[in-house]
Amino acid sequence: MPPGSTLDELRDEAEAWIDANWDLDLTVAEWWERLGASGWGFPTWPTEWFGKGIDNDGLAAIDGAFRDKRALGAPGGLGQMMGGPVLMRHGSEDQQRRYLWPLASGLESWCQFFSEPGSGSDLASAQTRAVRDGDEWVVNGQKVWTSGAMTADRGMLVARVDMEAPKHAGLGYFIIEVDQPGIEVRPLKQMTGESHFNEVFFTDARVSDADLVGRAGDGWAAAVTTLAFERSGRAGVVGAGFKRDAEFRTRRSELRTAKLGDVVDQGSAGRTMTVDTRNPGIAGRLSPLALVNEPGHNRTDPIRQDVTRYYIQSRVNSMTMQRARAAAAAGKAAGPASSITKLARSIATRINRDVGPAILGAGGMLAGPDAPHGGAVAHATVQAPSTSIAGGTDEIQHNIIGERVLGLPREPQVDRDIPFRELKVGTVRNEPGGGKET
């Protein structure tokens, strides 16, 4: 929060700015450009990079102003949630100058090229290769579970730049352009019927050396920072009513050219807004807190106890997330709070998965627009397993919490100091000159 300002004064200032600038005749692109230049869209970002340098308490006050005014918040996505903050911590001034404005103004959408078929929880064993070729790097390999790759402009890429170094020390972190001949994106069909995730193939794809974040071999540090922001949620962005999953249903280009009046439904179920009202789908997913008060449904004492557990878990996790975001905004290194919030979110999701169908009974198994609540409860049930996998599995979070919070011994890692070329991990065993399968 700016020195000398109270939360009420900050909120009043934000509301005055919204009153002077909010116009339903603007396109979303025009609004995001205006919002990005003002600093109100990403207020925890530094003032020199389209923010206001405020703390997390100030962010909550500003977010409340946007909600009360029913104004569309900042552009959401992995680039804004993780890419921008990572560049501010690990990137060069040139990279910050080139990329932070496109993110703050919604001109670009980014995805995350981390997981691989043979490198999921053990991200440091990634085998996608990046080989230096003059002022560029040539990338070959495969990534999987990449959210939003079909519409992304750029991707945050972890690739191996040194086969002789140990696995953690031989990685590079790049910002790579997605729309190029060497990158093929194939959607993956989920059991929800959607295709949020993709597998991505790199065949002699190219990325400039100017887009290497930090030095070659230092990619692990940037990757850890990225995961910390991912696990702690959307840090520093106002307008939480803007659902990121709307970007999966509407191409970013279509969303940018739409009028604010067309994409903002100010009367929808008490929420701040609904994006892409032509296809609302299940964006308005219901929680047990809403379902349990509906007449005619199962509301036994055990179910009410589970709903109470869900509420307590969600509120405590929200407070922990605030602490994690405040630490990140203060420039502190990634701590265990991000893993705690990620693990708590998995627990709350599983409670939601069980309690929703228990309240609705047989109706909770129905999907489609004619089902109760548009099939939102059934959708939440089949989507629930992904929460404990995406952004780092629950098992990984348990390890981090055990080691960094409880001080328990680290899991044995016999491969930590061995040159990567000698390892038998993932698919590296099939690498020419690598470890051979026996």
Strands 136-143 and 198-208: antiparallel
Using only C-alpha atoms, what is the Rg of the chain?
Answer: 22
Distance between CA atoms of 46 and 40, rounded to whole angstroms? 11
| Distance between first and last Cα of the chain | 60
Instruction: Output 382-388 pairs: Cβ under 8 A, ≥24 positions apart.
Output: 382/191, 382/192, 383/190, 383/192, 384/349, 384/350, 384/352, 384/353, 386/190, 387/345, 387/346, 387/349, 388/346, 388/349, 388/350
- Is residue 230 among the annotated active site residues? yes
- Which residue in the block uniquely carries the two structure tokens 């402009």? 153
Distance between CA atoms of 395 and 392, rounded to whole angstroms? 8
Report angle CA 40, 44, 49 to the nearest 5 degrees: 75
Report angle CA 270, 272, 278 to the nearest 5 degrees: 90
Closest by alpha carbon to 393, among 122, 118, 149? Answer: 122
From the CB of residue 220, how many other CB atoms can be counted at a distance below 10 Å?
20
Q: Considering Cα of 320, then 380, then 63, then 61, what sign does the dihedral take? A: negative
Q: Considering Cα of 8, then 14, then 16, then 18, what sign does the dihedral take? A: negative
Which residue in 33, 116, 199, 230 is the catalytic one? 230
Distance between CA atoms of 228 and 300, rounded to whole angstroms? 39
Q: Could you say which DSSP state residue 166 is in?
A: B
Distance between CA atoms of 252 and 429, rounded to whole angstroms? 40
The enclosing H or E element of 141 equals strand 136-143
From the CB of residue 29, how many other CB atoms can be counted at a distance below 10 Å?
18
Strands 110-113 and 154-160: parallel
Active site residues: 230
